Structure 1
């Protein structure tokens, strides 16, 4: 089932999940996951239009999740959200078709701009 107006946020930091909820929760169907393996089980059933994805997480890291999404040709736009230097993962992320990068701490205007560009 395609759910292209929905947003997934996958991050093991509850503070980041709370920030996305405060920024986008009133305006968009938002699904938040602190566990990347649980997120991919739901991704198997839904194809959100937008996924905000942390890189450094226990279990599957963000690059592995991004590869999993691309291996299944899901139409989801993936935005990497990280405090890590972009160059450290940029080559792998670009290889798997990352849409954009966001640096932590989050820039409210950038989150809203990306969301509007993808979902409208």
Structure 2
């Protein structure tokens, strides 16, 4: 097997660069970008029944009103199915401008895979 890898210039684990996830030894490994950018302005209030709870699964922000602005960047720290787990997401309802963690639908972000 080693000679096959050497002569055909294959990496030890032959993973396609466009794969978003692989399964090895029964364990699922998922790729996620280092950072993501908010695609468009998005606001919602957890206290109203009209907000779409399928887009925002969870946030550690203590506020009921959440506002994300186009172009804001957040550090991506994980992924699960259709959601990204992000950190350092700016909160415009805080007087301190503190950033929060959140689990948000992938469709609300532009992925920054880096170079």
The answer to whether the superposition gives a TM-score over 0.5 is no
- Normalised by the length of structure 1, the TM-score is 0.21
- Normalised by the length of structure 2, the TM-score is 0.21
Higher share in helix: 1
Tell which structure's C-alpha radius of gyration is larger. Answer: 2
Higher share in strand: 2
